[in-house]
């Protein structure tokens, strides 16, 4: 199997686009080697339109000690959420400890232009 010579089992309608299928297979092979390492057996296929997909990977075909460990968490918030900690959001520092009553908010001075065009408050 090479770029310009497809295998004998390739259907006739996929022969004209074989270089594209071969390129997709090489990308799939590179992804498998990057993710799992060299030496794993895998099965791949191509759709009728020439799209390559992975059918299966035999993870028992090589020792699992060669598989790369998973990367660390991308953010401290995600790590805290997965570990069960309760992280404090950043906006909490701007909140005051004492609640403000609604009457105090209603007594705030308003600009005359805003007061003239303000909509009436709902009944509820």
Confidence of residue 45 (pLDDT cuts 50, 70, 90): very high
Q: Which of 43, 13, 15, 9 is nearest to 29 (CA)?
A: 43
What is the model's pLDDT at position 4?
Answer: 86
Q: Spell out the alpha helix ranges (H) of the chain.
A: 18-36, 76-83, 102-106, 112-117
Do 61 and 54 contact (CB within 8 A), yes or no? Answer: no
Confidence of residue 112 (pLDDT cuts 50, 70, 90): low
Q: What is the mean pLDDT of residues 26-53?
A: 91
In angstroms, rounded to a whole number, what is the distance separating the alpha carbons of residues 54 and 24?
Answer: 11
- Cα torsion 48, 10, 46, 4: sign: negative
What is the model's pLDDT at position 75?
Answer: 76
pLDDT digits (tens, 9 = 90+) for 7-33: 888 889 999 999 999 999 999 999 998
Full-model pTM: 0.49
H helix or E strand, kind and range, residue 52: strand 52-58
Q: What is the mean pLDDT of residues 101-106?
A: 55
pLDDT digits (tens, 9 = 90+) for 71-95: 666 777 777 777 777 666 667 667 6
In angstroms, rounded to a whole number, what is the distance separating the alpha carbons of residues 105 and 94?
Answer: 18
Q: What is the mean pLDDT of residues 90-118?
A: 60
In angstroms, rounded to a whole number, what is the distance separating the alpha carbons of residues 97 and 80?
Answer: 25
At residue 114, does pLDDT exceed 80? no
Rg value, the chain, Cα: 31
């Amino acid at each position: 199997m090479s770029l310009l010579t497809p295998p004998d089992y390739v259907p006739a309608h996929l022969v004209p686009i074989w270089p594209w299928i071969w390129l997709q297979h090489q990308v799939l092979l590179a992804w498998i080697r990057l993710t799992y390492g060299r030496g794993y057996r895998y099965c791949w296929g191509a759709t009728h339109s020439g799209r390559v997909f992975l059918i299966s990977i035999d993870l028992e075909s090589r020792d699992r000690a060669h598989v790369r460990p998973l990367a660390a968490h991308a953010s401290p918030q995600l790590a805290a959420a997965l570990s069960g900690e309760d992280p404090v959001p950043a906006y909490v520092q701007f909140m005051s400890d004492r609640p403000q009553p609604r009457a105090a908010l209603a007594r705030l001075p308003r600009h005359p232009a805003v007061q003239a065009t303000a909509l009436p408050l709902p009944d509820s």
